[in-house]
Structure 1
Amino acid sequence: MTTESLPQKTKEQPTKLVRRFLASHKSPLTVLCLSPFVGLLAGLLCTGFDIAIDAVMDTREGWMSGREPGWEMISLVVLSSSLLSAFGFLLVNRFAPEAAGSGIPEIEGALDGVRPVRWWRVIPVKFFGGVGTIGAGLVLGREGPSVQMGSSVGRMLTDIFRLKDDEGRHTLVASGAAAGLAAAFNAPLAGIMFVVEEMRPQFRYNLVSIKAVIIAAIVATITYRSLQGQGAMIPLPSYPPVPLSSLGLFLVLGLLFGAIGVLFNRLVVMTMDGFDRLHGHKTSRFIAVGAFLGAVFGAMLLFLPKLTGEGVALIPDAAHGDFALTALFGLFMIRLVTTLACFGSGAPGGVFAPMLALGTLFGTFFGMLCGELFPGMDITAGTFAVAGMGALFAATVRAPITGILLVIELTHNYDLILPLLITTLGATMAAQAMGGKPIYSQLLQRSLAKQKAKEAQTIEQDEQGVSSSS
């Protein structure tokens, strides 16, 4: 019987091999099939987010156009901005605290398995809360909410299709992050590289995961361009290649931005701690902070519009040289304060776009100053503006390649790759030498530390309750 059973087992082996092969490749195939739907839904959601914010801003501009800012208009704009901002703060506080800020640290924590993704509450809160705070004129960007909503879409599809494989769930969350950034900035390469480079400690790189990320970013970008057009998001002239003799100045600019980036990251954490002490995590105080910020920036929309909003519209004006040296430095310092105040408050909104505006302002300031100091170098201040955008991003986020790709895709200035490389390299090296850490890693560690302290306090209170009752 033993000798008769051997051929039978031999005949069954190919079948078992096929079944094992199909079983091992079922999940990757499912992930690749779901990734374009992640890109499509994330693209639609983030593009709709963009359209909704523009609609709020256009409505307000319609009120203000062609009219003197009388008391009725001032009251209307200030009150509407205050209510919009308070609404965003209310949604975050009551329904989804993890939707505060950019949300990118939450996604990095989810990819690392230390934070949950509650997509059913994050998506609506981030969408409508972000429309409220960004539409109110606060200095916040759209990219953070887009990344978090995109990742939440990825997790939503894994739940709907009951994907149990941990690797596949991880991949689709990362694909959603790439799709969200691609749709937010119309920048597919930057979206892909953001996941691969900035999220490298959490992202599980393999052939299936990178394919899924690329597919989702492509589909999200196609979706965005189908609805919003294919033009550059930041319209700047195509600058010629910079003189080789001026490349050393770009390295100096990068070193300066390295120091600025380290200082900026520390100030962000200090500002967040200050707002935590101010409102004490009490709902009424948290909403009051939002209402106050909305009222302040509503008034600034009427009288100081350059200091409000994400700053993308300010970038072309600065790069074209529309401001004097003192005005550029003043705008940089004031917008630095307003960026810290808005982002540190816990409002739902990102910091990418405000950082790009800050980088442009200081880069243009540095370029114009070098033009006066070295008149024989044929310096164009706009090239330093473009380099500054990538340098501040690299110094704070610590993702130089992502910063370079993002700036190139936003401005279509492909001839400035070399100065961008030099400036971002200098910024990254200086930030590392000064002991600075990436902003989102700091914010994730801060969030986890707060969660751990809260859990320890809860356990201590429970123990005290048990001991008192006994």
Structure 2
Amino acid sequence: MKVVTDPAKLLLDRMMRLLRWRVWIAEKLQPTEWQLTLAWASLAGFMGALACLFFAACAEGIHQVMTNSSAGVIESMRLLPWWARVLIPATGGLLAGSVLLMGNRLIKGQSSTDYMEAIVIGDGHIPLRTSLVKITSAMFTIGSGGSVGREGPMVQLAALLASLLGRWRHFSRQQLRLLVACGAAAGIASAYHAPIGGSFFVAEIILGTIAMESLGALVAASVTAALTMQVLGNADRLYDVASFEMGSPLEMGPYLILGLLAGVTAPFFLRSLRRAESLFMETNLPLIARLTLGGLFVGVIAINVPEVCGNGYAVIVDILNGQIAWMMLIGILCCKWLATASSVGSGAQGGVFTPTLFMGAAGGYLFGTGVHAIWPAAALHPQTFALVGMGAFLSASSRAPLMAVIMVFEMTLSYHIILPLMLCSVLAYFTARGIDSHSLYGDTLEKKQAEEKETVLNTGKVQDLVKTNPPLVPPTARFEEIARLFLSVRVNNVYVTTSEGRFLGAVSLHDIKPYLGEPGVAELVLAGDILREDFPRVKPEQALNEALALFLEHDVQRLPVVDDAGILLGSLSKNDLMLAIVERGKRPSQAAAV
């Protein structure tokens, strides 16, 4: 047997073997861009879970340094003398403000886009330095006992990593926005052990649609994040509650009243946060002074009520276990409301999701206690009213009843509360919407929506979704060059153009299959010999629905975009087109409620 020693022939034989595998995968497995999107979404979910664990560890480390205690925030505050309870939150505000001040000098001129803006009205680009400054500031606020939640900076960090991942891979605008949304969903899923709730949080509140084109990727990211947390973190449910049994349908009556009360109270809670922000701004104090003052207010309240420190999780657990007297809870509720307004109003970086859950749990428990005193049979366990109150208040505040129901169910795994939870959440939603149009996250975007420029969703033309620099070869390209391009770029079609850029046709991965077993013949093949001149193409001025019709007619993942002169401008991805159509299909009312 003659041994081949020519390096060129050895290289060609190797490429032939690799191409045969490439063709087999394309024909048998038929991978699409959607499958690749799910893979990247899963990676974003894994990175998001690691980001949440990292942030939690850093915040806990700051807390231990400032309080010299490894106990929880509330327990640590109880062990401190009164002056330390005042000093630590104020010092945390001072450090948080200093980080923001110094960071603003370093990032002067850089956008302050957060993950919601990047998804809804942006291009998926989240500034690195700006986000790191905000996240670091949040660590000091949370570590010192500020009355804000961890979920805000956790989600921001997870979304930031997803944005960096997408930019590294040169994702298109639509793909990058979806990947950032996947990072945000992973952050929520990691923070609350709620993969379904994390998916619907982003789908219902931010994206405004639950179409599978976006929900599938969100689910992949959330599930991956939840699995990562189970392996590396805590896999238990967030709130351990007793079972609940409804004795009679008449018991739904008190829950209806609870839904109405939650719908009425939630808008006033949101107004108080906005009013507190206005009051702090009217002082004209420097940023550091405002944050220090906000921390000082929290510390003064914590002298007698240390339960106001932190996001309220520990108090919610005590409420659900019936370990807090109702009279004491009234005082804690009022003080926590004031402390949250102080932290949020001063400009502290952090979330309000868990404080919102606290407001609903406390209010629901107090209402359930009152019902038990009047009609014991209708409220055997006031803790069940606390659970339902959490969902109802969250629904009224976020204007996302479906997400609220799913989140509370996943956090408690209590199936028996579903009926009153669904009813109360929907009733609270419609009640709150009739009182005030503002929602928990709506104001974040309204500030910049007025500046939003016309996007691809308004124009609806192919030219807005064109991705430049597609893989292409000249008509004189030899088989070896074509093979190398197919192996280096994940595409099923390579475009053939002249030196002036005029589109001649495309070489399909399946077109080269007959030559894979004949290396001698393959050496003589040129791109111009095997190209398909009738390959479908679109023009930049065509409407998106016309391009969709071509995709449905031809089994391709990308279409070349060619102008009237026949010059290749780029390619249109089926994945990008479907995402754009889904976004265009969002109702105006949904977009305005985000």
TM-score (norm 1): 0.80
Does residue 1:374 correspond to 2:347, yes or no?
Answer: no
Is the contact made by 2:46 and 2:221 (CA closer than 8 Å) also made in structure 1?
Answer: yes
**What do the CA deviations read for 1:65-97 (whole angstroms, capped 9, x no partner)?**
899978xx6555654443332222233344369
**What do the CA deviations read for 1:107-144 (whole angstroms, capped 9, x no partner)?**
33222224874341244224322211011111101112
Does residue 1:52 correspond to 2:58, yes or no?
Answer: yes
Give the AA of the match of 2:274.
Answer: V
Task: Tell me what 2:442 maps to.
Answer: 441
Task: Tell me what 1:290 maps to.
Answer: 291
Does residue 1:239 correspond to 2:244, yes or no?
Answer: yes
- Per-residue deviation at 1:316? 2.2
Does residue 1:224 correspond to 2:229, yes or no?
Answer: yes
Is the contact made by 1:31 and 1:171 (CA closer than 8 Å) also made in structure 2?
Answer: no
Give the AA of the match of 1:131.
Answer: M
- Per-residue deviation at 1:197? 1.2
Does residue 1:185 correspond to 2:192, yes or no?
Answer: yes
Q: Counterpart of 1:436 in 2: which secondary structure? A: coil
**What do the CA deviations read for 1:284-315 (whole angstroms, capped 9, x no partner)?**
x2112222333443465564211211000001
Distance 2:78 2:275 in 1: 39
More strand by share: 2
Is the contact made by 2:41 and 2:217 (CA closer than 8 Å) also made in structure 1?
Answer: yes
Structure 1 residues 313 and 450, CA, compared in 2 at 3 Å: closer, same or farther? farther
Is the contact made by 1:126 and 1:149 (CA closer than 8 Å) also made in structure 2?
Answer: no
Alignment of 1:48-447 (within 5 A): 48-59=54-65, 60=67, 62=69, 78-95=86-103, 106-114=114-122, 117-163=125-171, 165-201=172-208, 206-241=211-246, 243-279=248-284, 285-298=286-299, 301=302, 303-446=304-447
- Per-residue deviation at 1:350? 0.3
Q: How many residue pairs get matched?
A: 418
Distance 2:410 2:240 in 1: 11
Task: Tell me what 1:8 maps to.
Answer: none
Compare relative contact order (CA 8 Å, sep 6+) and give the higher one, 1 or 2: 1
- Per-residue deviation at 1:325? 3.2
**What do the CA deviations read for 1:255-291 (whole angstroms, capped 9, x no partner)?**
01101111122222222222222246xxxx2112222
- Per-residue deviation at 1:56? 3.4
- Per-residue deviation at 1:192? 0.4
Comparing 353-362 with 323-332, greater Cα deviation is found at: 323-332
Is the contact made by 2:44 and 2:179 (CA closer than 8 Å) also made in structure 1?
Answer: yes
Is the contact made by 1:252 and 1:426 (CA closer than 8 Å) also made in structure 2?
Answer: no
Structure 1 residues 194 and 357, CA, compared in 2 at 3 Å: closer, same or farther? same
Distance 1:107 1:372 in 2: 46
Distance 1:378 1:384 in 2: 8
Does residue 1:43 correspond to 2:79, yes or no?
Answer: no
Q: Counterpart of 1:313 in 2: which secondary structure? A: helix
Q: Counterpart of 1:438 in 2: which secondary structure? A: coil
Distance 1:68 1:216 in 2: 39
Distance 1:188 1:120 in 2: 26
Distance 1:96 1:174 in 2: 26
Comparing 256-265 with 226-235, greater Cα deviation is found at: 226-235
Structure 1 residues 329 and 115, CA, compared in 2 at 3 Å: closer, same or farther? farther
Does residue 1:34 correspond to 2:40, yes or no?
Answer: yes
Q: Counterpart of 2:397 in 1: which secondary structure? A: helix
Comparing 168-177 with 57-66, greater Cα deviation is found at: 57-66
Is the contact made by 1:122 and 1:152 (CA closer than 8 Å) also made in structure 2?
Answer: no
Q: Counterpart of 2:242 in 1: which secondary structure? A: coil
Structure 1 residues 76 and 364, CA, compared in 2 at 3 Å: closer, same or farther? closer
Give the AA of the match of 1:174.
Answer: A
Is the contact made by 1:258 and 1:395 (CA closer than 8 Å) also made in structure 2?
Answer: yes
**What do the CA deviations read for 1:360-413 (whole angstroms, capped 9, x no partner)?**
111000000011111343531010000011111000101111111111222221
Is the contact made by 1:242 and 1:383 (CA closer than 8 Å) also made in structure 2?
Answer: no
Give the AA of the match of 2:281.
Answer: D
Is the contact made by 2:308 and 2:336 (CA closer than 8 Å) also made in structure 1?
Answer: yes
Comparing 212-221 with 75-84, greater Cα deviation is found at: 75-84
Distance 2:443 2:376 in 1: 42
Distance 2:344 2:156 in 1: 16
- Per-residue deviation at 1:31? 2.6
Distance 2:370 2:129 in 1: 49
Give the AA of the match of 1:225.
Answer: Q
Is the contact made by 1:390 and 1:403 (CA closer than 8 Å) also made in structure 2?
Answer: yes
**What do the CA deviations read for 1:9-59 (whole angstroms, capped 9, x no partner)?**
xxxxxxxxx9xx99xx87545433311211111110112212222333345
Comparing 205-214 with 138-147, greater Cα deviation is found at: 205-214
**What do the CA deviations read for 1:184-238 (whole angstroms, capped 9, x no partner)?**
111111100111111243x6x6544322211111111112222222112223223
Is the contact made by 1:254 and 1:424 (CA closer than 8 Å) also made in structure 2?
Answer: yes
Is the contact made by 2:298 and 2:343 (CA closer than 8 Å) also made in structure 1?
Answer: no
Structure 1 residues 450 and 210, CA, compared in 2 at 3 Å: closer, same or farther? closer
**What do the CA deviations read for 1:320-364 (whole angstroms, capped 9, x no partner)?**
333333322222222111111212221110001011111111100
Structure 1 residues 433 and 118, CA, compared in 2 at 3 Å: closer, same or farther? closer
Distance 2:369 2:102 in 1: 48
Distance 1:66 1:268 in 2: 27
- Per-residue deviation at 1:434? 1.8
Q: Percent identity?
A: 27
Distance 1:451 1:92 in 2: 26
More helix by share: 1
Structure with larger Rg: 2
Comparing 261-270 with 321-330, greater Cα deviation is found at: 321-330
Give the AA of the match of 1:38.
Answer: A
TM-score (norm 2): 0.64
